[in-house]
Chain A
């Protein structure tokens, strides 16, 4: 497959050779993340890692700017036609890596595929269709007035419809989305993005080269080659940067922030984050979790402030709800409730004074200090006689386990895809429904149709005050019900060598726009 890819890239380079390259993209960047992308199919999984890959090899219609505004990318302009319709104008003369030209039919193909994707279908539920007007014009139509239309458009990365259509040699459909499987799309990629993948060894390294025919000639980016190496060990990753082995690392563990700040040759960029880290309690697997008292006891047993202060070194904000400060649903009256005695009391009332044994799983290279947090939580649960069988796994193995709901308590971190509270609920607390994609990441199987109804109402509410009140009420009710155990909002940190100017390309979504990266 790799040879195919290389041959393909080679032929493409020949085809585009006569065209002059715009910017002098001759710098090389070696970067180390804690993990590499689990697949090349950007619709296979909705995760930070996959979106980072999307921003390197594809382009969205529009993208978030640093101050949470929108900037045009493949869509050069947009206007509202009526309360349910938004018309977009596509940029002309944009080519895919395969050489095909981008037209509205590619966008339609992508939209339809997103509607099929297990992970994305819930986000695109409010949309009824994508109407192609002509080659460079299309309309996004929603069933009801939808306030987050543009937010969602940042998730449309047009795919090369010709490239992804047809059958492979072995007769498989090229457009198929297979979770954790070997589909055509998981091993081949053709987007419009600034980088082409020239080599990939899962878990070892991914090599990117600047796309010669990239449409954005204004981009200041001058990196011609990127080598991404996953380094799981925090300490090793930091050492790799300090010793000069790599130029750019993320995430930076909280324990090493000071060390990098002190280093003369490195730059550190931090931002307070909006990604909530939480544990789900699976009610389908554990009878006791059906009892709200037990769930509440667990919520009381866990010391969020301790974790944020000690394990995260203050590099996180303790949470009692999902919406971070500044989101519409953020409810100021909710505070972390840590009280071991109360927790023991609740366990007693629920009739589980002697406790029980549960299994717990957490990734060990996905979130900052994820395995240490899980260990600490396991120790805290021992106080209320809940014995924890803890297993931590690398994320490439963790997500299949997560999708199979393989443990009684599972950790997940969530960043609202639409920068809005409702997104948390739709994915993490809605009654799971494979058909609509609701509750796709609700590993607790918590189900309260009343709350779901309230969120759905808020979604079509255009009066901001009313919407805020509704979302706040949702947070309050989830809190009272102890639907899940929130831990903290994780802060973000990146570090690079001084000559790598990462600051302008970073944002709170943690999607580094590497296409615009300048290396001096």
Chain B
């Protein structure tokens, strides 16, 4: 293992992954866009001209200013302002941060649950499998949004709005993570079922390894590639779910706008002149989801053994 770590970078450079990445212009472009958005989001407090979460900084007299270059714009607000007078650029930076955080967080949670339950169900089989998969079935029969709306409404009612505002991000991660785990569990289970028939598993069993070790050290690494592919798609899905929830007023509070709630707040104005409040965050959201999906597509092609080995 230690020798492998030493030469990991070299190994990566030799890999098919890097080889195909270098040749795929779409993947490179998507990757650059994604990285720059992630960096901008991480360093939002340094980059943003104003703190959109600080209500004391916003002034109603600055509301609905258009982006620079249009009539009546103010250079202090490069992308204009929303209906309450928030600087749109700052709000988008912070909003992207929230969206990405929720996207990644929710997928980590989904993956943790999904991998655990998928492995257990697939490897142990029998009653464990039936129970876990029926739970997954039940959950899949509800739409994610519906589950999220119910859970969100309950939390909102029991915590009060101010409290909910403070924990909203974690709540959304929890809600979206929990409601989507069956997707990953199903995939993991399917790969495990295929893997566990293979000789190396039999060999490990004969050598007397414990079940847990076989599951996590032997089978799991061999099922990782579909998980990666699904996870990228799920990140995009989680971001969309968050935007949808916020658009419905059940996500991030108005005082801490995410991309979704920003789009919602501009919705009333889209046909009455102030299109930028909805359009710019909307574009950012589309680009974000698009590059993640493109990367996911590329990853799927690379990791698909039939395309790769064939």
CB-defined contacts of A418 to chain B, threshold 8 Å = none
CB-defined contacts of A359 to chain B, threshold 8 Å = 160-162
CB-defined contacts of A311 to chain B, threshold 8 Å = 60, 63, 83
CB-defined contacts of A378 to chain B, threshold 8 Å = 55, 255
Partner of B58 from the list A235, A309, A379 (CB cut-off 8 Å) is A379
CB-defined contacts of B54 to chain A, threshold 8 Å = 382
Closest Cβ of chain B to A271, distance in Å, is 21
Question: Chain B, 239-258, contact with A by CB distance < 8 Å: what is the 0/1 string?
Answer: 00000000000000011000
Decide yes or no whether B61 CB sits under 8 A from chain A.
Answer: yes
Which of A253, A307, A372 has the most C-beta atoms of chain B within 10 angstroms of its own C-beta?
A: A372
Total A-B pairs, Cβ < 8 A: 73
Decide yes or no whether A499 CB sits under 8 A from chain B.
Answer: no
Task: Please name the residue on chain A nearest to B63 by beta carbon.
Answer: A310
Question: Chain A, 283-299, contact with B by CB distance < 8 Å: what is the 0/1 string?
Answer: 00000000000000000
Decide yes or no whether B270 CB sits under 8 A from chain A.
Answer: yes
Task: Please name the residue on chain A nearest to B86 by beta carbon.
Answer: A379
CB-defined contacts of B83 to chain A, threshold 8 Å = 311, 372
Q: Secondary structure at chain A's binding surface: helix, strand, loop or mixed?
A: helix
Decide yes or no whether B64 CB sits under 8 A from chain A.
Answer: yes
> B161–A389 contact, CB under 8 A?
yes
> B254–A375 contact, CB under 8 A?
yes
In the complex, chain A residues 226-241 whose Cβ is within 8 Å of any chain B Cβ: 233-235, 238-239
Closest Cβ of chain B to A325, distance in Å, is 24
CB-defined contacts of B255 to chain A, threshold 8 Å = 375, 378, 390
Given contacts A310-B61, A311-B60, A376-B84, contact A235 B270 (CB under 8 A): yes
> B267–A235 contact, CB under 8 A?
yes
CB-defined contacts of B61 to chain A, threshold 8 Å = 303, 306, 309-310
> B60–A259 contact, CB under 8 A?
no
Closest Cβ of chain A to B3, distance in Å, is 58
Closest Cβ of chain A to B153, distance in Å, is 12
Decide yes or no whether B271 CB sits under 8 A from chain A.
Answer: yes
> A259–B63 contact, CB under 8 A?
no
Question: Chain A, 252-292, contact with B by CB distance < 8 Å: what is the 0/1 string?
Answer: 01011011000000000000000000000000000000000
In the complex, chain B residues 122-176 whose Cβ is within 8 Å of any chain A Cβ: 160-162, 165
> A307–B60 contact, CB under 8 A?
yes
CB-defined contacts of A310 to chain B, threshold 8 Å = 60-61, 63-64, 85
Decide yes or no whether A107 CB sits under 8 A from chain B.
Answer: no
Closest Cβ of chain B to A286, distance in Å, is 14
> B254–A253 contact, CB under 8 A?
no
User: In the bound complex, what is the Cα–Cα distance between A36 and B274 (angstroms)?
Assistant: 29
> B84–A379 contact, CB under 8 A?
yes
Decide yes or no whether B24 CB sits under 8 A from chain A.
Answer: no
CB-defined contacts of A385 to chain B, threshold 8 Å = 56
Closest Cβ of chain B to A156, distance in Å, is 39
Decide yes or no whether B272 CB sits under 8 A from chain A.
Answer: yes
Task: Please name the residue on chain A nearest to B254 by beta carbon.
Answer: A375
> A376–B268 contact, CB under 8 A?
no
Decide yes or no whether B269 CB sits under 8 A from chain A.
Answer: yes
Question: Chain A, 305-337, contact with B by CB distance < 8 Å: what is the 0/1 string?
Answer: 011011100000000000000000000000000
CB-defined contacts of A501 to chain B, threshold 8 Å = none
Closest Cβ of chain A to B264, distance in Å, is 10
Task: Please name the residue on chain A nearest to B83 by beta carbon.
Answer: A372
User: In the bound complex, what is the Cα–Cα distance between A258 and B273 (angstroms)?
Assistant: 10
| Number of residues on chain A facing chain B (CB within 8 A) | 32
Given contacts A311-B83, A389-B161, contact A255 B60 (CB under 8 A): no
CB-defined contacts of A379 to chain B, threshold 8 Å = 55-56, 58, 60, 84-85
Partner of B272 from the list A259, A306, A376, A382 (CB cut-off 8 Å) is A259
> A382–B56 contact, CB under 8 A?
yes
User: In the bound complex, what is the Cα–Cα distance between A388 and B58 (angstroms)?
Assistant: 15
Closest Cβ of chain B to A382, distance in Å, is 3
> B60–A389 contact, CB under 8 A?
no
Closest Cβ of chain B to A411, distance in Å, is 15
In the complex, chain A residues 99-134 whose Cβ is within 8 Å of any chain B Cβ: none
> A239–B271 contact, CB under 8 A?
yes
> B60–A306 contact, CB under 8 A?
yes
User: In the bound complex, what is the Cα–Cα distance between A253 and B268 (angstroms)?
Assistant: 9
CB-defined contacts of A309 to chain B, threshold 8 Å = 61
User: In the bound complex, what is the Cα–Cα distance between A342 and B270 (angstroms)?
Assistant: 37
Decide yes or no whether A205 CB sits under 8 A from chain B.
Answer: no
Decide yes or no whether A380 CB sits under 8 A from chain B.
Answer: yes
Decide yes or no whether A387 CB sits under 8 A from chain B.
Answer: yes
User: In the bound complex, what is the Cα–Cα distance between A378 and B60 (angstroms)?
Assistant: 11
Closest Cβ of chain B to A69, distance in Å, is 37
> B269–A255 contact, CB under 8 A?
yes
User: In the bound complex, what is the Cα–Cα distance between A383 and B54 (angstroms)?
Assistant: 10
Closest Cβ of chain B to A301, distance in Å, is 11
Task: Please name the residue on chain B nearest to A260 by beta carbon.
Answer: B272
Given contacts A253-B268, A372-B83, A379-B55, contact A391 B60 (CB under 8 A): no
Decide yes or no whether A143 CB sits under 8 A from chain B.
Answer: no
Decide yes or no whether A456 CB sits under 8 A from chain B.
Answer: no
Given A259-B271, A359-B162, A379-B85; 7 other pairs, CB 8 A cutoff: A253-B268, A310-B60, A310-B64, A379-B56, A380-B60, A382-B55, A388-B55
Q: Enumerate chain A interface residues (CB-CB to B < 8 A).
A: 233-235, 238-239, 253, 255-256, 258-259, 303, 306-307, 309-311, 357, 359, 372, 375-376, 378-380, 382-383, 385, 387-391
Closest 3 CB pairs of A and B: A389-B162, A382-B55, A255-B272
5 contacts between A and B (CB under 8 A): A255-B273, A255-B274, A303-B61, A375-B254, A376-B84
